[in-house]
Amino acid sequence: MKQWAVASSIIVSDDSYLLVANRRRNDSIDWSPPGGVVDEGETPVEALTREVVEETGLSVASWGPEAYAVTVRFIDLQMHLTVNCFPALEWSGLLVIDDPDNIVEEALWCSSSRCAELLAEAPVWVSEPFLAHLSGSETGPFIYEVHGEKLANAQVQRVAQ
């Protein structure tokens, strides 16, 4: 079973939240908070600090405690994903995209309603926890099972612990 971990951010400026546009292998675009894969030997916060610089040009000096966590079990694909999301407490810099993976194409400050619009096409395990956090409506657990051999037509279900 393939297992991987991702770290995700919540970066706020004047009631606007930072999202990035990701170019996928099938040439589609989806939006998400900045973040990325935790490499071997990195903590989630170390990975997140690195990814935010690469994807946005912003340097985060301090992170708050974990805002929420996500678990995604891809049943038919034999994969397991964990996501840990942290709020940036102190950051500086200007938006400059220098993504070595050439995935992030744009970064945008958005109102919470604009976040909801842009995240409508994102996987539910990206959009639902982030928007729930913004609205203060719930804290999780955010556990999902994905059934199907292809993500494009997979069935996603939120499950209890």
Identify the segments of the chain with pLDDT beneath 70.
161
Q: What is the pLDDT of residues 85-94, one digit of tens each?
A: 999 999 999 9
Identify the pLDDT of residue 161.
60
CATH at 79: 3.90.79.10
Number of domains in the chain: 1
Domain interval for residue 22? 2-159
Identify the pLDDT of residue 153.
83
Residues sharing a CB contact under 8 Å with residue 146, sequence separation 6 or more, in sequence order: 72, 73, 74, 75, 76, 77, 154, 155, 156
Burial of 36 (0-12, 13-18, 19+ CB in 10 A): buried
